[in-house]
Chains A and B, each alone.
Chain A
Amino acid sequence: MAIISVSNLTYQYAQSEAPAVNDVTFDVEAGDWVAIVGHNGSGKSTLAKLLIGILAADSGTIDIAGTRLTEASVWDVRETIGMVFQNPDNQFVGATVADDVAFGMENRHVSRDVMIRRVKEALLQVGMWEFRDREPARLSGGQKQRVALAGVMAVAPKILILDEATSMLDPEGRSDILNTIKTLKQKLNLTVLSITHDIDEAAQADRILVIDDGRFIEEATPQALFEHGSDLIAMGLDVPFSAKLTELLAQRGVAVPAHYLDEGSLADWLWKSRLTK
């Protein structure tokens, strides 16, 4: 059974003319990694807010882990979802790293002994244990996002939603946090829903949903989608470096392979092609 099941979901902001999310239907299976990509204003963040019940849908239904999302069940549903937001500063509630990780548990009435244990576990998982007494002002953006992730992990959700969680980080911080998420996903059998602009983040997914004007316009695997090349920009993704290079090589008459190559495999292909020449 699908862990997230959304059907005919529609939401319109009070002041706007068109719905931000328009008749959207999709399922996510437990243990999957699904990326939702699209332009700014395509409705992807609205969708995330609908999923955790920050916004209430105009019509349509959301079922999370078998529970229908309603006003009465919203707190139960939030127990099963952890969410990491875009701005590292604006989700850091605690005064220190350890306090922030404990925040979600304090809300769930977890006893202090358990909290102390789980704060340590969660911080060790994301490699931030040495920073437990640091204040947020003395952390980098990437470190703050890792703390946010630890805060989510400490309450052991089934689903992790990343709402452009890497978009304010530098490339290093970005790949760092993506690797951490990959490891955690495997270890804890998480379902990941990542809302993103970033091609590297989208590339981690099993499946990519492209959203435009509040509607899903395409669903594909990363490989299939990245073969579109420059069309990706139109879909709201940054074209990966390897795709750009492949296209430029093709323009110069080099016989490049037609399927998508990531940077590593493109490099492999390049040095092998030199050998056979």
Chain B
Amino acid sequence: MNNFMFGRYIPGNSWVHRLDPRAKLLLCFIYIGVVFFANNFWTYLLLTVVLLGSIILAAVPARIFIRGLRPLFWLLLFTVVIQIFFGAGGHVYWQWGVFSITHDGLVSAGLILMRFVLIILISTLLTFTTQPLAIADGIESLLNPLRKVHFPVATLALMLSLSLRFVPTLMDEATKIMNAQRSRGVDFGSGGLRQQIKTIVPILIPLFVNAFQRAVDISIAMEARGYRDGENRTKYRQLKWRSADTISLVGFVIMAGLVIALRQLT
């Protein structure tokens, strides 16, 4: 579990770390949206440069990014292979039944791979530089307009932050239960798939039972501390929008405009 880098927060105090989570979420959305408009070498070059620039500003070592990509390697490979074999059009290099390798197939496989990598890297950059809690705050703040249609934004945000808060607690508990089962002779991670699934069940059941008990306890504790409903509460934590946030947002909007302009080049 500890080798799993995707979605992890890397503590730091870089320029990107200090950006407002709302700004970072917006930047991420803009970037991902623009990736789908990219269609030629120049647009991808621009997107790559912006991404590399952001990564440098975030001061997160490159090897951590590569480690973050590793679990997704098979997914990437699978997508590329499908694109290569099933993409049609242009010059045909090789054919066998429904499988064929064509010029257009190769090109679209390359583009898909590029898009995939860009999207994964920018979202990894977001999670590497933003605490989960800050992301939850950012989402709450961005969803705020939905209050007008009586969408329970604050309740949703509290649910999000409570679940985040209990992730390590439940992880600890799972480890404890696994150790308890190990001490009784259960061998995790060996045997066939069937056998492995069988060893998971005695972990999940106590974990679920305890999680429900915790949920009951925490709701009582919240009520005892005066929690009535999510919407009418004051907020202790506040987000601060600074000029750096505006600057980076303007930068990304300019990038989006450039990508759309460069589309016409082919």
User: How big is the B interface, by class?
Assistant: 20 to 34
Q: Is the CB of A106 within 8 A of B217?
A: no
Q: Given A52-B224, A93-B162, A93-B218, do A106 and B233 touch, yes or no (CB 8 Å)?
A: yes
- The prevalent SS among residues of A at the interface is helix
Query: Is the CB of A224 closer than 8 A to any CB of chain B?
Result: no
Question: Which of B61-69, B92-100, B111-119, B165-173 lies at the interface with chain A?
Answer: B165-173
Question: Which of A27-35, A109-117, A212-220 lies at the interface with chain B?
Answer: A109-117
In the complex, chain B residues whose CB is within 8 Å of the CB of A54: 220, 223-224
In the complex, chain B residues whose CB is within 8 Å of the CB of A104: 225-226
Q: Is the CB of B237 within 8 A of A91?
A: no
Query: Is the CB of B263 closer than 8 A to any CB of chain A?
Result: no
Question: Which of A95-103, A121-129, A258-266, A269-277 lies at the interface with chain B?
Answer: A95-103
Contacts across chains A and B counted by CB atoms under 8 Å: 91
Question: Which of A78-86, A199-207, A243-251 lies at the interface with chain B?
Answer: A78-86
In the complex, chain B residues whose CB is within 8 Å of the CB of A92: 165
Nearest B residue to A138 via CB reads B168
Query: Is the CB of A252 closer than 8 A to any CB of chain B?
Result: no
In the complex, chain B residues whose CB is within 8 Å of the CB of A81: 224
Nearest A residue to B216 via CB reads A90
Q: Is the CB of B227 within 8 A of A107?
A: yes
Q: Is the CB of B220 within 8 A of A110?
A: no
Q: Is the CB of A112 within 8 A of B226?
A: no
Nearest B residue to A115 via CB reads B236
Q: Is the CB of A112 within 8 A of B217?
A: no
Q: Given A93-B221, A137-B172, do A112 and B238 touch, yes or no (CB 8 Å)?
A: yes
In the complex, chain A residues whose CB is within 8 Å of the CB of B234: 105-106, 109-112, 115
CA–CA, A119 and B235, complex, Å = 13
- The prevalent SS among residues of B at the interface is helix
CA–CA, A103 and B233, complex, Å = 9
User: How big is the A interface, by class?
Assistant: 35 or more
- Within A6-64, which residues are at the interface with B (CB < 8 Å)? 49, 52, 54
The digit string for B195-223, where 1 denotes a CB below 8 A from any CB of A, is: 00000000000000000001001101111
Nearest B residue to A107 via CB reads B226
In the complex, chain A residues whose CB is within 8 Å of the CB of B221: 83, 85, 90-91, 93
B207 smallest CB distance to A (angstroms): 14
CA–CA, A105 and B234, complex, Å = 8
Interface, chain A (partner B; CB < 8 A)? 49, 52, 54, 75, 78-79, 81, 83, 85, 87, 89-96, 98-99, 102-112, 115-116, 119, 135-137, 151-152, 155
Can you list 8 pairs linking A and B with CB atoms under 8 Å apart? A89-B214, A91-B217, A95-B164, A106-B235, A107-B228, A109-B234, A112-B236, A115-B236
